[in-house]
Structure 1
């Protein structure tokens, strides 16, 4: 039950952060980006790998642009950040 409440809280927090102006999204967005894999692993341990895979797909879908940015930085590129 606690895992479900944490996941619901994460979803509401991410929806709230998405409504912020772009310049104010960075700090809470990074916190959500770090918290998501922890929740996905917990889902996998409690519910099974299928539910963890679905959570991972949702996570990648929601954070596709920040993940692309991180991947580009790891490759040594310097992508443009929106204003």
Structure 2
């Protein structure tokens, strides 16, 4: 197993374990920090192991950090609807 896969697995385990602990801000600061750390790890794993491995790691990360993605989707939808209804 190469370094990029080990880093990705360590990242996934860390996010999962931290998500089990209580938090006052519902883990939002931690989630944004982990996104910042996880994107370079994802890029490195994709570069070293190929597209399919990168997509698999991306899907695993998206399943753990689903609420930031849901919020992003809602914001993008609001922007698209706002611009689509303009005359």
Question: TM-score w.r.t. structure 1 length?
Answer: 0.71
| SS of match in other structure, 1:20 | coil
Bigger CA radius of gyration = 2
Structure 1 spans left out of the alignment, 5+ residues: 78-83
> Are the aligned partners of 1:40 and 1:52 in contact in 2 as well (CA < 8 Å)?
yes
Query: What value does the CA root-mean-square deviation take over the aligned residues?
Result: 2.1
How many residue pairs get aligned? The number is 77
> Are the aligned partners of 2:16 and 2:64 in contact in 1 as well (CA < 8 Å)?
no
Residue 37 of structure 1 corresponds to which residue in structure 2? 39
Residue 82 of structure 2 corresponds to which residue in structure 1? none
Structure 2 spans left out of the alignment, 5+ residues: 80-87
Question: TM-score w.r.t. structure 2 length?
Answer: 0.69
Flag the structure with more relative contact order, 1 or 2, with Cα contacts below 8 A and sequence separation at least 6. 2
Write the distance in 2 (CA, Å) between the matches of 1:51 and 1:4.
9
